Structure 1
Amino acid sequence: MASPRRALGAVTACATTLGLGLAGLVAFTGGASAASTNLVVNPGFETGSLSNWSCDAGTATVVGSPVHSGSHALAATPTSSVDAQCTQTISVQPNSSYSLSAWVQGPYVYLGTSGDGTSDVSTWSSSSSWNQLSTSFTTGASTTSVTVYLHGWYGQATYYADDVTLTGAAGPSPSASASASASPSASASPTASATPTQSATPTPTPTPTATSTGGTGGTGKHKVTGYWQDFDNGATDQKISDVNSAYDIIAVSFATADPNNTGGITFSLDPTLQSKLGGYTDAQFKADIAAKHAAGKKVVLSVGGQNGTITVASSTAATNFANSAYSLMQQYGFDGVDIDLENGLNSTYMAQALHSLASKAGSGFVLTMAPQTIDMLTASSDYLATALQVKDVLTIVNTQYYNSGSMNGCDGGVYSEGTVDFITSMACTAIQAGLSPSQVGIGVPASSSAAGSGYVQPSVVENALNCLAKGTNCGTFKPSTTWPGIGGVMTWSTAWDASNGNQFANNEGAFVHAMP
């Protein structure tokens, strides 16, 4: 995210809607083997109740019609803030293969798993008649339970599900207890920054259940992120302690590629900046990070930038990335990492690396991303594909809504950067593709000097937030539903903001933190 970013020119790539653009990404596999025992308890809701299932409060019930078989089925109705998710945690065996299926009916019904220990899986459909969703997975070496989930999509009509089947080896102590999973829908609880559901391929899964490794980041429902520059480029030089208190997440920019370790990263303070700051030492830097922690802030290490050349394209490279990133987290006290690779990334191996890092870091891990707008146009775009695969450990994606020219929004319309329509229609694309609203943030420059193009007045950002969260102050594009849990805002950079009188921190910080 080095400033200024390179201009991309006008891009009018043909974006697609959720129903059309993502359908080709979903694999529908055969049903479960009839010879195997179904591990799901109350799979057809024939108890006449939601026993053994845990659902978003007030969204689910058991009905007598329509049903696929038997006398009952699940009916669940999403709202604008929750996707009506129902889960059940099931005992399984490590290193074992399983098949999952369910009969579903309705708009945007999702079936998947979290906690597989390998790559969580998911699939979806949108149909007015009963159809079977099927997928399969293999558990990890230490996996003893898996959470199965069903959910719909924000603001859509009621969906129905019946005859849920999970076949494979039962766990050593089969348990029929109801799932005690974390709040399923990150948008319903903005502090739940992650929503686990990714298959290894970029399938559109809006919200599975948050895992124990998912970090929240920030200090409230909506987050303000700023990038701290580890170099001097004409903006106000800052120590970490100088960063305005309005910033909830501070992204230290940048870690670079370790030339001696494929996929590995390294970081050290820039000597020129250290000198300009009067001899800013490692010890002071670490102490400043600790002080931000004491103030309730999060500090992450941003990887890459405009000129970053980190390549993670193999399992070995993924391991090296995770190990080196974790070492730097321990050395400096970083809470996690920010992925800002603007020269492409391999979604499969980057997702592997980030899951490994999250596992090492444990509870409190913060993962942010700052993709260019062009990298978030469809679920198959490299960044959006990666974000979808790591949404179980993802805090927020702050897309750079600048240096972009014109782009297609989620409705297929072409919108110019620097407008409310551009921001809202692109944020809509990310949410429709499967990110939770709380994982979607608005990235803008702190001043006209901070980027080649795309600087907007605070009122434009605030109107966009109101449009996304409340359906007010929209431009010509108005989303079909609202997302009160929208993640927040980001700026490049805190140094350019300081040079501009802290306009972003003072205006956007106050506005975002006042949002309900």
Structure 2
Amino acid sequence: MHRAPARPRLVWAGTLAAALALSFAGTGQASAADVNNVANAGFESGLSGWTCSANSGTAVSSPVHSGTAALKAAPTGQDNARCTQTVAVQPNSTYTLSAWVQGGYAYLGVTGTGTTDVSTWTPDSAAWKQLSTAFTTGGSTTSVTLYTHGWYAQSPYYADDIAVYGPDGGGGGTPAPTVPAAPAALAVSGTTSSSASLTWDAVPDATGYNVYRDGTEVASTTGTTATVGGLAAATAYGFQVSATNAAGESPLSAEVTATTAPSDGGGGGGGGGGGDVPKHAVTGYWQNFDNGATVQRISDVSSQYDIIAVAFADATTTPGAVTFNLDSAGLGGYTVDQFKADIRAKQADGKKVVVSVGGQNGTVSIRDSASAANFADSVYTLMQTYGFDGVDIDLENGIDATYMTQALRSLSAKAGPSLVLTMAPQTIDMQSPSSGYFKTALNVKDILTVVNTQYYNSGSMLGCDGKVYSQGSVDFLTALACIQLQGGLDPSQVGLGVPASTSGAGSGYVSPTVVDDALDCLTRGTGCGTFKPATTWPGLRGAMTWSTNWDAAAGNAWSNAVGPHVHALP
């Protein structure tokens, strides 16, 4: 979300579309003679055998996945920190490509295979995570180019233990992997009346995990979380997890029991908190600053908005803690007492008012238990001071799922079941259930009201069907929302975030008609573009916009069109 006058952020267009046109080939079974054909695979010899663009790479001693060194590569605004190695291979052979990565967005792939070049990627990760895919060489292929890279102007990434397992091409010699150990620390992170969310520790050398319910495999994933749906209410289920790689599948983990919540009576799906938020709701961000949009008081906000997110709370000098200071001078003399009274009046009309944490320039960091406790305590203090109904998480500089989960659960324990908890991740933060934002949302699914993903300022992105879609279209909204709907969030916890006008964001504006079409496509199966979901989700929560101020500057055209449409959804 923008505090300053709207300006384009980094727009990931054609280049990103190419980078995200991934081929997720299945991991092949390694034979007894397979070796790792990568030289200096663990960077124990520095960058020997590797070439990194723009001098972006260096060998570091921490963090490392194994051994004493790893690669650190730092992208810039003009360079994606691409590091390459030419790897000798045999023709007409199948190879498994893998690497352990950490930090910023990380990509892994090969070119020059003579058949289909492949790649895979992951959003930013606070812990080591394995990427894996496979490729087959052509009849005359004797070498391929292995590469890793990050993304422009994003955080540095780390890579270690990179492997191209398969027949010896003449430069390898490291043995093929062994069957991984069983996962440890399997735990239930949350339940609804129809689903259970699980977490477990990563297993060294694992490339994937299988989830078992009462002895039957029900899901597979490359991450260390999973949400299993289709469960009966108020019922106990036993879950176990196994780890897999090219060598085979591990024994099953110890079993944990998850008991689903009682049925909600069919009123609103398997969502979590939010008290009496309407089944279909419109969220709008209210600007506590003047950036050229219409300056408003809370009382000026259109009645079409069901949730008003006050932007923004700011970080303090205490790690994790936040505060809120009304910009009385910038808002024409708006006093704190008037602000509080306006909040109470909106609540009397059935609206919810939450305080939003972060924004484009937000620097709130929750990376340990102490900062998590400080966050929960400070937000609860703001709720008591101003009368806020809850909190919105709009952190655009990374999120640690473990400690943000801890912070939100602590806040929930203080505030009770009426807590309204919303999130506004950037588009790329919700591309994979393994990303910090998505993982956090799944971790707190039982207390989560809605995730309003910002479908703008992002460029092209992958949809749930694996195809790349350009922002600013009905397909972009529907195919990307589908990722969350298929990835474990309840329909009542999914909202479409869009700019209220062309001034509200650097790119990605769509007309209210397109928003309405996307809502109809997802809930009714009508109004779709080229992407048509296999099912519909009538319980979809609704839509969000940045901001009520930009909406007002355009005569409330957005809320007057989208609001009634949301409220009339099935």
Alignment counterpart, residue 327 of structure 2, candidates 270, 281, 299: 270
Q: Structure 2 vs 1, CA of residues 105 and 262 (structure 1 numbering), >3 Å: closer, same or farther?
A: closer
Is 1:112–1:123's contact at 8 Å kept on the other side of the alignment?
A: no
Alignment pair present for 1:102 and 2:214: yes
Alignment counterpart, residue 351 of structure 2, candidates 287, 293, 297: 297
Q: Structure 2 vs 1, CA of residues 342 and 105 (structure 1 numbering), >3 Å: closer, same or farther?
A: closer
**1:8: how far off?**
3.1
Alignment pair present for 1:503 and 2:557: yes
TM-score (norm 2): 0.61
Report the equivalent of 1:116: none
Alignment counterpart, residue 190 of structure 1, candidates 268, 273, 278: 268
Q: Structure 2 vs 1, CA of residues 107 and 191 (structure 1 numbering), >3 Å: closer, same or farther?
A: closer
Report the equivalent of 2:10: 8
- Measure, in 2, the Cα distance between the counterparts of 1:436 and 1:189: 13
Pairs within 5 Å for 1:434-445? 434-445=488-499
Q: Structure 2 vs 1, CA of residues 414 and 221 (structure 1 numbering), >3 Å: closer, same or farther?
A: same
**1:29: how far off?**
4.9
Structure 2 counterpart SS, 1:271: coil
Structure 2 counterpart SS, 1:273: coil
**1:386: how far off?**
1.3
Alignment counterpart, residue 463 of structure 2, candidates 403, 406, 409: 409
Alignment counterpart, residue 399 of structure 2, candidates 321, 345, 355: 345
Structure with larger RCO (C-alpha < 8 A, sep 6+): 1
**1:280: how far off?**
1.2
**1:103: how far off?**
2.1
Q: Structure 2 vs 1, CA of residues 327 and 101 (structure 1 numbering), >3 Å: closer, same or farther?
A: same
Report the equivalent of 2:314: 256
Alignment counterpart, residue 215 of structure 1, candidates 252, 261, 274: 274
- Measure, in 2, the Cα distance between the counterparts of 1:390 and 1:354: 8
Structure 1 counterpart SS, 2:259: strand
**1:216: how far off?**
3.8
Is 1:226–1:490's contact at 8 Å kept on the other side of the alignment?
A: yes
Amino acid at match of 2:2: A
**1:384: how far off?**
0.9
Gapped regions of structure 2 (runs ≥ 5): 28-119, 123-128, 132-180, 187-191, 198-211, 221-226, 232-236, 243-249
Amino acid at match of 2:393: I
- Measure, in 2, the Cα distance between the counterparts of 1:16 and 1:440: 27
Alignment pair present for 1:373 and 2:427: yes
- Measure, in 2, the Cα distance between the counterparts of 1:311 and 1:280: 30
Is 1:224–1:246's contact at 8 Å kept on the other side of the alignment?
A: yes
Amino acid at match of 1:392: D
Is 1:6–1:306's contact at 8 Å kept on the other side of the alignment?
A: no
Alignment pair present for 1:148 and 2:259: yes
Report the equivalent of 1:467: 521
Cα distance per residue 1:149-181 (max 9 Å; x no partner): 4xxxxxxxxxxxxxxxxxxxxxxxxxxxxxx72
Alignment counterpart, residue 493 of structure 1, candidates 547, 550, 554: 547
**1:265: how far off?**
0.3
- Measure, in 1, the Cα distance between the counterparts of 2:23 and 2:321: 35
Amino acid at match of 2:430: M
Is 2:355–2:392's contact at 8 Å kept on the other side of the alignment?
A: yes
Cα distance per residue 1:109-159 (max 9 Å; x no partner): 93899xxxxxx997789xxxxx9976556xxxxxxxx8524xxxxxxxxxx
Report the equivalent of 2:262: 181
Is 1:264–1:324's contact at 8 Å kept on the other side of the alignment?
A: yes
- Measure, in 2, the Cα distance between the counterparts of 1:507 and 1:124: 47
Cα distance per residue 1:30-61 (max 9 Å; x no partner): 999xxxxxxxxxxxxxxxxxxxxxx98xxxxx
Q: Structure 2 vs 1, CA of residues 122 and 216 (structure 1 numbering), >3 Å: closer, same or farther?
A: farther
Q: Structure 2 vs 1, CA of residues 106 and 330 (structure 1 numbering), >3 Å: closer, same or farther?
A: closer
- Measure, in 1, the Cα distance between the counterparts of 2:299 and 2:344: 10
Q: Structure 2 vs 1, CA of residues 468 and 283 (structure 1 numbering), >3 Å: closer, same or farther?
A: same
- Measure, in 1, the Cα distance between the counterparts of 2:427 and 2:497: 10
Is 1:217–1:366's contact at 8 Å kept on the other side of the alignment?
A: no
Amino acid at match of 2:537: W
Pairs within 5 Å for 1:317-356? 317-356=371-410
Q: Structure 2 vs 1, CA of residues 103 and 418 (structure 1 numbering), >3 Å: closer, same or farther?
A: same
Q: Would you say how many aligned residue pairs link Structure 1 and Structure 2?
A: 379
Amino acid at match of 2:216: V
Q: Structure 2 vs 1, CA of residues 308 and 86 (structure 1 numbering), >3 Å: closer, same or farther?
A: closer
Is 2:328–2:335's contact at 8 Å kept on the other side of the alignment?
A: no
Identity of aligned residues (%): 56
Structure 1 counterpart SS, 2:550: helix
- Measure, in 1, the Cα distance between the counterparts of 2:130 and 2:433: 11
**1:272: how far off?**
2.7
Is 1:28–1:123's contact at 8 Å kept on the other side of the alignment?
A: no
Is 2:239–2:258's contact at 8 Å kept on the other side of the alignment?
A: no
More strand by share: 2
Structure 1 counterpart SS, 2:286: strand
Report the equivalent of 2:305: 247
Is 2:521–2:532's contact at 8 Å kept on the other side of the alignment?
A: yes
Amino acid at match of 2:378: S
Q: Structure 2 vs 1, CA of residues 491 and 101 (structure 1 numbering), >3 Å: closer, same or farther?
A: closer
- Measure, in 2, the Cα distance between the counterparts of 1:499 and 1:438: 30
- Measure, in 2, the Cα distance between the counterparts of 1:356 and 1:5: 36
- Backbone CA RMSD of aligned residues: 3.6
Structure 2 counterpart SS, 1:402: coil
Q: Structure 2 vs 1, CA of residues 191 and 291 (structure 1 numbering), >3 Å: closer, same or farther?
A: farther
Q: Structure 2 vs 1, CA of residues 477 and 464 (structure 1 numbering), >3 Å: closer, same or farther?
A: same
**1:2: how far off?**
1.6
